[in-house]
């Protein structure tokens, strides 16, 4: 259970803190790797840049991906990881502020598994994170690694 | 010869042929009449010769016969035979020729017998007869000669006259007709002012003939044509100018449409970027405010007194309310630029679904409602649903605090238009403030009384307007409200 990593891609430190708090409050004890922009997320996934040398056979069990990110935005990250065989099957949930229709449509077109809008009401937010963790880490059968 | 003759028109030939034929017939008739008169005159001459014989010669011949003086008789007969046209004279006695002169002839003759009487002893007695034969051959020969002379003279005369007539008719008429024909054939809008002159001797003004009339008519026709052509040309110029103007206006219009479209697209693009920015950037800090307020309450709540708790809860409520406001505002903005797909919509079914949804999600107490069956509307289903959600949400919300709420959805026909309405018997409103009802963020009730952002009716109004319809409200404090709207079709 502990080797199942969650990759949180989030540039806003407040949101990062709140998300981490929500995860811990939901008793999700997995290792959480935080990437603060899209480029860093791709570096982690493909073992490049600051994550050079990382064993890319080990991939996160869930990626929580914000859309509005510096350098490489969330949709681009999604496109790139879906295009690479090492990451093509990874469960990705968009966790973002926007619910613009075109973002939702584009995300699904690019092969996202789930799209969750962060509610302003933090009770709802904690509940949403709890359900996400429960679903993707417990209920859902993850794709086999190494494909 | 043929070429020369070809100069003369068929009209000339026809005129000459007709004239020659007619004059020949007339000449023949006149000649016949003249010959007849001549014949009668010659016949008269012969008769008078015969009469003369009766007067002058009978006594001499009678006496000579009586005296049986053969010699004297012969002299008298010879004298008689020398008279013009006398062919044969004979003295007969009992059908026996006693004496004669000239040659006897039996054809083409005219003869007369005279009795030769002698008075003897007071008694008249016939002693014989004188037969005078006149020869008609001379008469006939003269007639024939005359006939030939007249015929030849007439023929020559007719030929000369015909030739002259042909030439003269050509000179007088047909050559001008040919020129007029050529001129008329040559006439076109480019040479209408050309003047036709005929090669004719000058003549006085009071001797104007048909050709002058033709020339005058032709000139008038040319000037009429010229003014008609000018009018046409002016019209064409006007038309062309108008067409050019239309073309110019069209291209200017097209250019403007292109520009405006580009501007609109730019504005739309900006608006989208703005909306996106609002939905993303404005909500993010709100989430922090609410999230950390909640974290404070949960993680450090025991260090705060109730007033501190109350303050933090107020912070959270305000942040959440602002989140709602932003969402509503974005929805309002989206409605303005949403694509419309107009179809037939069953408003009754939609209303029932919406009411069920509202009961389920908003937790309103069950209120009796009446929805008219088969309310047909034509519009965008998604947008019309927003209208029904807002109007029914209001109806349920504002009637939620009375004992016996009653909601009604229906339609009436007014001035040929279908007016849809949603009515409740709830809190209502003062008609003095009806103008504020449809403004964005305008509310007639305090949020503690009835929650809301004041964007719903503004959204409804915008949707109705996008459908080409109108919306209005009627109400009374504590007696309910009725919202009515139309759609363009």
Task: Tell me how far apart the alpha carbons of residues A65 and A47 are, in angstroms, rounded to a whole number.
Answer: 18
Mean pLDDT for the stretch of residues B163-182: 88
> Is residue A131 predicted with pLDDT exceeding 60?
yes
**Beta-bridge partners for A95:** A116
Q: What is the mean pLDDT of chain B?
A: 86
> Is residue A113 predicted with pLDDT exceeding 90?
yes
Identify which has the larger pLDDT, B84 or B259.
B259
Domain ranges of chain B: 2-163, 209-337, 341-485
Share of chain B above pLDDT 70, in %: 98
Mean pLDDT for the stretch of residues A30-37: 92
Among A6-10, B218-222, B339-343, name the most confident range: A6-10
The phi and psi torsions of B302 (rounded to 5 degrees) equal -70, -20
Candidates 3.40.50.150, 3.40.190.80, 3.30.565.10, 3.30.420.40; correct CATH number of B341-485?
Answer: 3.30.565.10
pLDDT of residue B357: 86
Residues of B in contact with A122 (CB under 8 A): 287, 290-291, 293-295, 316
> Is residue B2 predicted with pLDDT exceeding 60?
no
Which architecture does CATH list for B2-163? Answer: 2-Layer Sandwich (3.30)
Task: Tell me how far apart the alpha carbons of residues B294 and B455 are, in angstroms, rounded to a whole number.
Answer: 28
pLDDT in tens, B242-284: 999 999 999 999 999 999 999 988 887 887 777 777 777 888 8
Return the number of CB contacts < 8 Å for A and B: 59
Chain A nearest-CA residue for B315: A121
Nearest residue to A121 via CA among B321, B378, B195: B321
Mean pLDDT for the stretch of residues B2-6: 54
pLDDT of residue B3: 54
- Do the Cβ atoms of B230 and B192 come closer than 8 Å? no
pLDDT of residue B404: 86
What's the Rg (C-alpha) of chain B? 69
pLDDT of residue B115: 87
Kindly state the tokens that stand for B267.
């504005």
Q: Which of A47-56, A118-127, B1-10, B463-472 has the lowest mean pLDDT?
A: B1-10
Residues of B in contact with A99 (CB under 8 A): 279
Residues of B in contact with A123 (CB under 8 A): 294
Contacting A residues, span 6-35, partner chain B, CB-CB under 8 Å: 12, 14-15, 18, 21
Mean pLDDT for the stretch of residues B143-168: 87
Q: What is the mean pLDDT of chain A?
A: 89
Q: Which of A9-13, B27-31, B472-476 has the lowest mean pLDDT?
A: B27-31
Determine, for residues B291 and A122 on separate chains, whether the beta-carbon distance falls below 8 Å.
yes
Task: Tell me how far apart the alpha carbons of residues B220 and B192 are, in angstroms, rounded to a whole number.
Answer: 11
pLDDT of residue A2: 44
Model confidence at A116, pLDDT cuts 50, 70, 90, reads very high
Helix or strand holding residue B362 (H, E): helix B347-362
List of domains in chain A = 6-139 (3.40.50.2300)
Mean pLDDT for the stretch of residues A70-78: 90
> Is residue A109 predicted with pLDDT exceeding 90?
yes
Mean pLDDT for the stretch of residues B32-47: 89
Taking the CA atoms of B74, B76, B79 and B85 in sequence, report the sign of the dihedral they define. Answer: negative
Q: What is the DSSP string of B156-218?
A: HHHHHHHHHHHHHHIIIIIHHHHHHHHHHHH--TTSTT-----------GGG--HHHHHHHHH
Chain A nearest-CA residue for B285: A14
Q: Give the minimum alpha-carbon distance from A140 to chain B in angstroms, rounded to a whole number.
A: 28
Kindly state the tokens that stand for B383.
């947008």
> Is residue B489 predicted with pLDDT exceeding 70?
no
Q: Give the minimum alpha-carbon distance from A21 to chain B in angstroms, rounded to a whole number.
A: 9
Share of chain B above pLDDT 90, in %: 24
pLDDT of residue B60: 84
Q: Give the minimum alpha-carbon distance from B488 to chain A in angstroms, rounded to a whole number.
A: 28
Q: Which of B124-138, B159-173, B195-209 has the lowest mean pLDDT?
A: B195-209
> Is residue B472 predicted with pLDDT exceeding 90?
yes
pLDDT of residue B336: 75
């Amino acid at each position: 259970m502990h080797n199942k990593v969650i990759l949180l891609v989030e540039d806003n430190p407040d949101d990062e803190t709140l998300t981490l708090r929500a995860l811990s409050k939901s008793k999700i004890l997995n290792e959480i790797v935080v990437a603060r922009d899209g480029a860093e997320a791709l570096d982690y996934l493909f073992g490049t840049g600051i994550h050079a040398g990382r064993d890319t056979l080990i991939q996160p069990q869930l990626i929580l991906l914000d859309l509005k990110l510096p350098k490489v935005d969330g949709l681009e990250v999604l496109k790139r990881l879906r295009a690479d065989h090492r990451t093509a099957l990874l469960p990705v949930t968009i966790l973002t502020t926007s619910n613009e229709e075109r973002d939702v449509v584009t995300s699904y077109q690019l092969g996202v598994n789930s799209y969750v809008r962060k509610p302003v009401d933090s009770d709802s937010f904690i509940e949403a994170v709890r359900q996400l963790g429960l679903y993707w880490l417990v209920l859902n059968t993850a794709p086999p690694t190494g494909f | 010869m043929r070429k020369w003759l070809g100069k003369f028109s068929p009209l000339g030939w026809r005129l000459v042929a007709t004239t020659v034929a007619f004059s020949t017939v007339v000449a023949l008739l006149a000649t016949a009449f003249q010959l007849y008169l001549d014949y009668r005159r010659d016949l008269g001459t012969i008769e008078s010769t015969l009469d003369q014989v009766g007067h002058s010669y009978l006594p001499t011949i009678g006496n000579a016969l009586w005296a049986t003086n053969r010699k004297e008789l012969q002299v008298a007969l010879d004298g008689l035979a020398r008279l013009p046209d006398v062919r044969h004279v004979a003295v007969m006695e009992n059908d026996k020729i006693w004496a004669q002169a000239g040659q006897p002839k039996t054809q083409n003759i005219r003869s007369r017998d005279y009795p030769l009487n002698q008075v003897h002893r007071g008694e008249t007695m016939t002693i014989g007869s004188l037969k005078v034969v006149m020869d008609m051959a001379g008469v006939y020969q003269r007639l024939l000669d005359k006939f030939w002379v007249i015929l030849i003279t007439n023929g020559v005369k007719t030929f000369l006259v015909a030739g002259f007539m042909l030439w003269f008719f050509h000179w007088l008429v047909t050559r001008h007709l040919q020129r007029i024909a050529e001129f008329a054939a040559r006439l076109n809008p480019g040479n209408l002012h050309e003047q036709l002159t005929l090669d004719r001797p000058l003549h006085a003004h009071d001797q104007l003939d048909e050709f002058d009339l033709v020339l005058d008519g032709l000139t008038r026709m040319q000037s009429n044509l010229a003014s008609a052509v000018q009018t046409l040309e002016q019209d064409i110029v006007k038309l062309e100018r108008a067409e050019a103007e239309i073309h110019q206006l069209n291209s200017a219009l097209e250019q403007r449409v292109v520009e405006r479209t580009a501007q609109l697209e730019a504005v739309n693009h900006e608006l989208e970027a703005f909306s996106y920015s609002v939905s993303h950037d404005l909500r993010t800090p709100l989430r922090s405010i609410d999230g950390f307020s909640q974290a404070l309450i949960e993680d450090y709540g025991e260090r705060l007194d109730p007033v501190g708790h109350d303050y933090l809860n107020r912070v959270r409520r305000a942040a959440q309310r602002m989140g709602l406001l932003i969402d509503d505002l974005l929805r309002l903005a989206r409605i303005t630029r949403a694509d419309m797909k107009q179809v037939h919509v069953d408003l009754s079914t939609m209303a029932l679904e919406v009411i069920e949804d509202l009961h389920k999600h908003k937790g309103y107490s069950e209120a009796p409602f009446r929805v008219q069956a088969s309310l047909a509307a034509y519009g965008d289903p998604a947008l019309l649903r927003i209208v029904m959600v807002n109007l029914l949400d209001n109806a349920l919300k504002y009637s939620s605090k009375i004992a016996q709420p009653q909601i009604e959805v229906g339609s009436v026909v007014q001035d040929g238009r279908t007016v849809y309405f949603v009515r409740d018997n709830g809190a209502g409103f003062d008609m003095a403030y009806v103008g504020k009802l449809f403004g964005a963020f305008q509310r007639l009730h305090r949020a503690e009384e009835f929650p809301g952002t004041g964007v719903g009716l503004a959204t409804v109004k915008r949707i109705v307007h996008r459908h080409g319809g109108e919306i209005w409200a009627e109400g009374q404090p504590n007696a309910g409200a009725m919202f009515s709207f139309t759609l363009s079709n």
